[in-house]
Structure 1
């Protein structure tokens, strides 16, 4: 596949022990400003040797893929989940070998959301939109270089629904995450 068709993208932790592979075109490439992503980013930043996920404006860059197009090819035994609350439907997954945030997953969803910084620098897809801007920090002014949405736009939701339809409305399980991050999952 050519890069314009999506090709193959690799995501790695900082030390290289964990590698994810995504095939095909991403569903969406976004910068999220929600409070949960900022809170998680601050928690992860406090881990020893952690790789940052927050941009200077408090946003987090994500690349969403269909679950049937992404897999862990190396280091699955290093992956641990973190939930901000015990009932959170979103789990964020860290490579414990070097405390690198790798992806997040909405429980029961059909997509997996890679932290964009984990992708090889020369292959990172460009941001398409900003979402959840109503939650941005008070000191952040948005540029008009990308579409910005207070929540999740209709375009974003249509992309998710289109991907789900293309998967025959299946939601595959992500079975390569071994458990909760010791001392940090709640």
Structure 2
């Protein structure tokens, strides 16, 4: 059986990515960090809203060893909420397209859902950190949700890390963006 390959680009097409295989999970995060970052990044001329209508940020998580940056990497810039932030968001500076969120030492990338055409975005599987949603009562219960990240979420991340031989490849980004 052939592994599925997905090709994505930034809004202007300069940055090109290739994803191999199935994602770890497709999620919507409502944590304060994602909300604060989205609010600040949305002050830039981004090609599309970062937050969903429920205030969360949509991500599709992939193992790092299944993501290839094919072209346009010279345009990648990191954004951090502060100098000591353990997470960084990475944008394509050519068009300010949010590309991924990366946890320091993480073995996966949380790719922004807006990289996919709406009809090709993997179906939402869960919502995390919903206790900080601006309108908690307005967050639908159509998929599993939790005030914190769920056990199933962490289980999928652990399974992916084991499959990678407990490696966490580095992704070098030259330059930063301020928002």
**Band of TM-score, shorter chain:** over 0.9
TM-score (norm 1): 0.90
Structure-2 separation of matches of 1:63 and 1:35: 19
Give the paired residue count: 179
Structure-2 separation of matches of 1:50 and 1:125: 20
TM-score (norm 2): 0.93
Q: Deviations over 1:21-75 (max 9, x none)?
A: 1111101110111111111111111112443211121111100000000021110
Task: Give the superposition deviation at 1:11.
Answer: 2.5
Task: Give the superposition deviation at 1:109.
Answer: 0.5
Structure-2 separation of matches of 1:32 and 1:82: 18
Task: Give the superposition deviation at 1:139.
Answer: 5.9
Question: Is it true that 1:43 corresponds to 2:61 in the alignment?
Answer: no
Question: Is it true that 1:178 corresponds to 2:171 in the alignment?
Answer: no
The list of structure 1 runs, each at least 4 consecutive aligned residues, that deviate by more than 3 angstroms after superposition, is none
RMSD of equivalent CA atoms: 1.5
Cα 1:135/1:118, change in 2 over 3 Å: same
Structure-2 separation of matches of 1:102 and 1:68: 16
Question: Is it true that 1:74 corresponds to 2:71 in the alignment?
Answer: yes
Counterpart residue number, 2:123: 126
Query: For 1:107, which of 92, 104, 107 is the aligned residue?
Result: 104
3-state SS of 1:21 partner: strand
Structure-2 separation of matches of 1:160 and 1:49: 29
Structure-1 separation of matches of 2:119 and 2:7: 11
3-state SS of 1:170 partner: coil
Counterpart residue number, 2:6: 9
- Unpaired segments ≥5 residues, structure 2: none
The answer to whether the 8 Å contact 1:51/1:99 transfers is no
Task: Give the superposition deviation at 1:140.
Answer: 4.4
- Unpaired segments ≥5 residues, structure 1: none
Q: Deviations over 1:82-136 (max 9, x none)?
A: 0001111100001111111111100110001100110244432100001000111
Question: Is it true that 1:95 corresponds to 2:92 in the alignment?
Answer: yes
Structure-1 separation of matches of 2:41 and 2:7: 21
